[in-house]
């Protein structure tokens, strides 16, 4: 018995039939609307790159394929985020170790900073996280960061110093809580 399976005739038809579905699938993984838009764009670019494959599929297979693509894109995003955090943790540790220490306590603090750094970073505001990321993850100079943020270099240096002090205080607080 031959059952007629509808196929998409144009990529536009495929998009119109499935663009809301991509967002519905993304809702299972992501809460941030801007991130959903970015991931949806990535998925549609991949679909457009393989348009002949999708035009040969029926709607049922297309929806299943899109579901897998969304899942993979979300997992890729979270893996990249994890790698960024690990890199940032290493960079801050290296920076802390290279600083001169006034007391033995501060030196000991720098060696155990890794286990508390992620929790301390969660206490930072988004702008503070971005400043630290630009400095340590992307290894940008103060001049470059000042150019991007359109504020003086001195202000960037002061903010970075304050953020590092804030991280240090938060890490010490977390460590003290663990000891109690």
CATH, residue 119: 1.10.10.10
The distance from CA 35 to its chain's CA centroid, rounded to whole angstroms, is: 9
Residue 94 — pLDDT band, cuts 50, 70, 90? low
Residue 148: CB atoms within 10 Å: 11
Cα–chain center distance at 45: 20
How sure is the predictor about 17, in pLDDT bands with cuts at 50, 70 and 90? confident
Which pLDDT belongs to residue 95?
60
pTM above 0.85, yes or no: no
Give the chain's domain count. 2
**Are 163 and 111 contained in the same domain?**
yes
d(CA 67, CA 28): 11
C-alpha distances (whole Å) from 141 to each of 32, 48, 50, 138, 147 are 30, 38, 40, 9, 10
């Amino acid at each position: 018995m031959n059952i007629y399976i509808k196929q998409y005739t144009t990529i536009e038809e495929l998009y119109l039939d499935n663009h809301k579905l991509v967002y519905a699938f993304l809702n299972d993984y992501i809460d941030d609307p801007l991130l959903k838009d970015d991931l949806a764009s990535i998925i549609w670019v991949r679909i457009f790159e393989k348009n002949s494959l999708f035009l040969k599929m029926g709607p049922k297979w297309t929806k299943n394929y899109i579901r897998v693509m969304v899942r993979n894109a979300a997992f890729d995003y979270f893996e990249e985020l994890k790698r960024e955090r690990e890199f940032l943790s290493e960079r801050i540790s290296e920076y802390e170790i290279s600083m001169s220490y006034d007391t033995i306590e501060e030196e000991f603090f720098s060696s155990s900073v890794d286990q508390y750094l992620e929790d301390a970073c969660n206490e930072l505001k988004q702008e503070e996280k971005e400043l630290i990321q630009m400095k340590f993850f992307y290894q940008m100079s103060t001049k470059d960061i000042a150019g991007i943020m359109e504020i003086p270099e001195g202000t960037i240096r002061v903010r970075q110093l304050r953020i590092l002090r804030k991280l240090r205080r938060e890490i010490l607080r977390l460590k003290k809580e663990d000891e109690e």
